Amino acid sequence: MSAATISRPEGLVAMKPPLLSMPVEVLCAIVVLLNPISLIAASQTSRALRTFIDPTRHNFIQRLLAL
Ordered by start, the domain boundaries in the chain are 18-66
User: Averaged over 4-12, what is the pLDDT?
Assistant: 61
pLDDT at 48: 85
Least confident of 18-27, 34-43, 51-60: 51-60
Residue 34's pLDDT is: 87
Alpha helices in 1-67 (DSSP H): 24-31, 36-43, 47-53, 57-66
Q: How many CA atoms lie within 13 A of 35 on its CB side?
A: 4
Task: Say what the pTM is.
Answer: 0.58
Q: Determine which of 1-5, 17-21, 23-27 has the lowest per-residue pLDDT on average.
A: 1-5
**Cβ proximity of 56 and 43 under 8 Å:** no
